[in-house]
């Protein structure tokens, strides 16, 4: 299976793109292909973690559910990303639930195969460390922004990041389509749903984006770039 993929097809920020070719081929060859439908759970919070998924196509929403109250979206993962790595690495219960946001294709890699690859390749170990640190850095920057920047700037930043890293081609030239709901977008930016709806309405009026059910299409990345925080 690994030979059907090449480095150019993986987003630069993804885990798979960080791997050397030989390690990437080994990881993909170890995976068992799986398909998930919209809203189907890949991983469930609290379960044991003896495997992870390498995402091949589609987007996955990672959310944590408190003892009481609604789940909070923590991250969006896409092609080339991995989900389920924390529980696999520290042998603790899964800390979040991962659900498909639309159809998803993934490769299931068990613990022994993944850790075996890491033990054989220092470069692969470094790729895991770099990937995890990048995710933590992004989460920290967003949390800090919640205390400094207004809702409009925070939403613009999250949309910009998603468009660069996870967006799928849109219907027209220069457009990118992000299959995410407005409530999930608000969770990622730390903005209330009502405020998110108001800001998106203003951005639609300006022609910067358009929205439909569980989908946001960015139409003007340059103007969105100027709105986000530095």
Which pLDDT belongs to residue 166? 62
- 113 pLDDT more than 90: yes
- 84 pLDDT more than 50: yes
Which pLDDT belongs to residue 165? 72
Length of the chain measured in residues: 230
Q: Which stretch of 54-63, 175-184, 213-222 has the lowest confidence by average pLDDT? A: 175-184
- 171 pLDDT more than 60: no
What is the model's pTM? 0.79
- 68 pLDDT more than 80: no
- 39 pLDDT more than 50: yes
């159809």: which residue's tokens?
Answer: 103
82 DSSP β-pair partners: 54
- 22 pLDDT more than 90: yes
Going by C-beta distance under 8 Å and a sequence separation of 6 or more, which residues neighbour residue 171?
177, 217
Query: Average of pLDDT values for 50-60?
Result: 93
Domains, the chain? 2-144 (2.60.120.10), 149-227 (2.60.120.10)
- 6 pLDDT more than 50: no
Between 212 and 179, where is the model more confident? 212
Please check whether residue 197 is in contact with residue 190, taking contact to mean a CB–CB distance below 8 angstroms.
no
């Amino acid at each position: 299976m690994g030979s059907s993929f090449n480095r150019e097809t993986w987003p630069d920020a993804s885990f798979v793109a960080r791997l050397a070719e030989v390690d990437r081929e080994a990881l993909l060859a170890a995976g068992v292909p799986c398909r998930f439908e919209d809203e189907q759970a890949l991983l469930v919070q609290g379960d044991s973690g003896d495997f992870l998924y390498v995402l091949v196509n589609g987007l996955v929403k990672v959310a944590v559910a408190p003892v009481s109250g609604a789940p909070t979206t923590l991250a969006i993962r896409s092609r080339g990303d991995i989900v389920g790595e924390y529980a696999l690495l520290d042998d603790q219960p899964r800390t979040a639930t991962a659900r498909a946001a639309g159809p998803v294709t993934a490769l299931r890699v068990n613990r022994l195969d993944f850790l075996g690859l890491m033990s054989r390749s220092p470069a692969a170990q470094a790729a895991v460390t770099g990937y995890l640190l990048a995710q933590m850095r992004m989460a920290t920057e967003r949390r800090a922004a919640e205390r400094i920047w207004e809702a409009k700037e925070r939403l613009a930043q999250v949309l910009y990041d998603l468009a660069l890293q996870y967006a799928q081609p849109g219907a027209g030239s220069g457009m990118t389509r992000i299959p995410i709901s407005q409530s999930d977008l608000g969770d990622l930016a730390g903005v209330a749903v009502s405020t998110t709806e108001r800001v998106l309405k203003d951005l639609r009026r300006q022609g910067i984006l358009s929205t439909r059910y569980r989908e946001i299409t960015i139409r003007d990345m340059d103007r969105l770039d100027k709105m986000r925080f530095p």
